[in-house]
Chain A
């Protein structure tokens, strides 16, 4: 079974631009979560989607948004990029439907650099 895939793997953008990252979960998984990893703040939760609905959101500004499609693939968008948005963005997928997180499998991440 294929793992979680994320595209692109690397991105370079300039301040003020916007970016869209994509995540394809493991086949059969309907829950997709996004995390930001930086050297200063570590791993922080962005949001979680299940069956096209955002169920949970972390403490990030409204410039960070996401969505999930009917095939469970998810995208996250960051508008008006700032230097501090440079990070590794990780996506995780899970079989868990409600109440618990279950086994969370992560993709390889998208490395975003904002210049």
Chain B
């Protein structure tokens, strides 16, 4: 079945850029998403990209999609302590359901 892989942990210094990477296997993916989850909370939709796009920028967030390699990345510019959370990559194929990665725990050090 479809699979989405992410590295488990990332630590950065406050003010630096963070890059979270994700790979997926479903070649029929239409939408690819990035969600943020803080402790005890639900999932916050950060941004998404349609599969015919290469890049999407939204304020401090930049999403890059390499469809050939099935690789998605999320760059957070000027990372702040409030960005510390778990970040999930998800893809939507033809089945109208999201397949999630295991999440990347981002820790921002002062």
Contacts from A to B (Cβ < 8 Å): 4, 6, 31, 33, 35, 42-43, 45, 48, 55-56, 58, 90, 92, 96, 99-109
Contacts and interface: CB of A to CB of B under 8 A. Distances in A.
Nearest to A91: B42
B81 interface: no
B97 A45 contact: yes
The bracket for how many chain B residues form the interface is: 20 to 34
Given A101-B31, A106-B44, A56 B96 contact: yes
Q: 4 shortest A-B CB distances, which residue pairs?
A: A101-B92, A43-B100, A106-B43, A108-B42
A101 B30 contact: yes
A100 B42 contact: no
A104 B33 CA distance: 9
A42 B100 contact: yes
Contacts of B90: 43
Interface string B82-110: 00000010101001111111110000000
Interface string B38-82: 000111110010000000000000000000000000000000000
Nearest to A46: B97
A22 B94 CA distance: 27
Contact of A45 (B44, B48, B98, B101): B98
Nearest to A6: B42
B23 to A, nearest CB: 16
Contact of A56 (B30, B43, B44, B95): B95
A31 B101 CA distance: 22
A19 to B, nearest CB: 18
